[in-house]
Structure 1
């Protein structure tokens, strides 16, 4: 049986490729479980310094599996809500692992990132859009609301009014517009998308893994904290940094540089 994802680690850069190209990498329960297990393992693996998330074939991720939705609606009405609630928990676990991954994450968006696919991209630290990339918060067109973190991540990227417009209209945003409004951070040709994402991930992860993880943990919460709280959290993180081998080596290397 073919795996719902493909994984590779090369020179510290991990690639997680969603691998259901026949349905544009729509996420079903099996794919979700594999993504969760992989992210949990890589988060704790010191050999992994950064993550690139992308899709196989012509799409990044078309969102949730609509055929699966149809099958679930065939359950007795009294079971639909609880089944959905349990599935939401697994979806939220998947998105939370991406958001809190203690290393840089880059979504290399090839083709459509629709619904939950857009949410997965938004959960990453950075979005690199291929020339064929297209984003759509398509939930309302299915009679649903964004449920994969998009209502948290999207306003923080594009502002509240624009986030409302994108969610309410469910319209398509092509790569150039995505860059212009801050939905994407960089563009790359489709042919070189993965190479560009890997190179960027390598650049982002070049320094102390411990300091990076700690800085990311504070930055990810900084918009919900006041100034004094950010300083307090930063002080605790810095105290840990003072004890790391990377800090000691960096100080020694700096002081050992020739003068002039």
Structure 2
């Protein structure tokens, strides 16, 4: 594995652990981390390791987009918005398509894109204190790219609940929805993740890879078109006045004054 600015990687007995390592920013996603995660996952798929654990350093798993990056988005061009959306789609798709089994060890908050990373993994182990949520609508944004994956996991009605309310849910509810495989005491989380990984290593690698390829084949036929539509919707949302106001309000710690509420007839056009 290469040297990374925003990640730590550790390979031991056939298990690769990728740790998002920006604890001072709650492991928030910036362009460097998005690129490095993509590279690390692609490298892992061609390594001698047979299972992958994804976790976060410090008290959070991943808090979504970094605030500095979020603020910079309000001044970007349509082409830049699309390129940024494509990079996020690429890392999520890469995680989804990794042929080796993936385990998320969710040690704390998994928000927005961070929740996407946590729940796209084949197994999602969570500490009881972890919180999950797609909070994008609260800042005038849309959780477009993750929506396609989420629909397949929990269905239409539950997806609408999470995405339209933007509410945070506890690990217990995430488990009830099927987004979390097991809830494990925080002090035991990494030990249990490694134990699961070692259990998987006893299986036939080719049989597991073939199983994942088959499962992904069922989804990929639809995912291609859906993610392309999501990238376009994501880029469009970043250019709206509601998004600009939502980011300003979030950074200023105040309630947003949504421009689209003042002109409801134009909403959604």
C-alpha contact 2:4 2:36 (8 A) present in aligned 1? no
How far, CA to CA, are the matches of 1:62 and 1:55 in structure 2?
Answer: 10
How far, CA to CA, are the matches of 1:136 and 1:107 in structure 2?
Answer: 16
Shift in Å at residue 224 of structure 1?
Answer: 7.1
Partner in structure 2 of residue 134 of structure 1: 131
Range moving further from structure 2, 97-106 or 155-164 = 155-164
Which structure has the greater CA radius of gyration? 1
Structure 1 residue ranges (4+ consecutive) displaced by more than 6 angstroms after TM superposition:
none
Matched, 1:199 2:189: no
Over 3 Å counting, the alpha-carbon distance change for 1:2 and 1:201 in structure 2 is closer
Gaps of 5+ in 2: 222-269
Partner in structure 1 of residue 122 of structure 2: 125
Normalised by the length of structure 2, the TM-score is 0.77
How far, CA to CA, are the matches of 1:214 and 1:55 in structure 2?
Answer: 29
C-alpha contact 1:138 1:171 (8 A) present in aligned 2? yes
DSSP-derived class of the 2:136 partner? helix
C-alpha contact 1:105 1:124 (8 A) present in aligned 2? yes
C-alpha contact 1:103 1:205 (8 A) present in aligned 2? no
Range moving further from structure 2, 201-210 or 110-119 = 201-210
How far, CA to CA, are the matches of 2:89 and 2:220 in structure 1?
Answer: 19
Q: How does 1:1-260 map to 2 (within 5 A)?
A: 3-45=5-47, 47-75=48-76, 79=77, 81-147=78-144, 149-222=145-218
Shift in Å at residue 107 of structure 1?
Answer: 0.8
Shift in Å at residue 2 of structure 1?
Answer: 7.9
Name which structure has the greater RCO, CA cutoff 8 Å, separation 6+: 2
DSSP-derived class of the 1:37 partner? helix
Over 3 Å counting, the alpha-carbon distance change for 1:153 and 1:2 in structure 2 is closer
C-alpha contact 1:104 1:205 (8 A) present in aligned 2? no
Shift in Å at residue 195 of structure 1?
Answer: 1.1
How far, CA to CA, are the matches of 1:3 and 1:195 in structure 2?
Answer: 25
DSSP-derived class of the 2:143 partner? coil
C-alpha contact 1:118 1:136 (8 A) present in aligned 2? yes
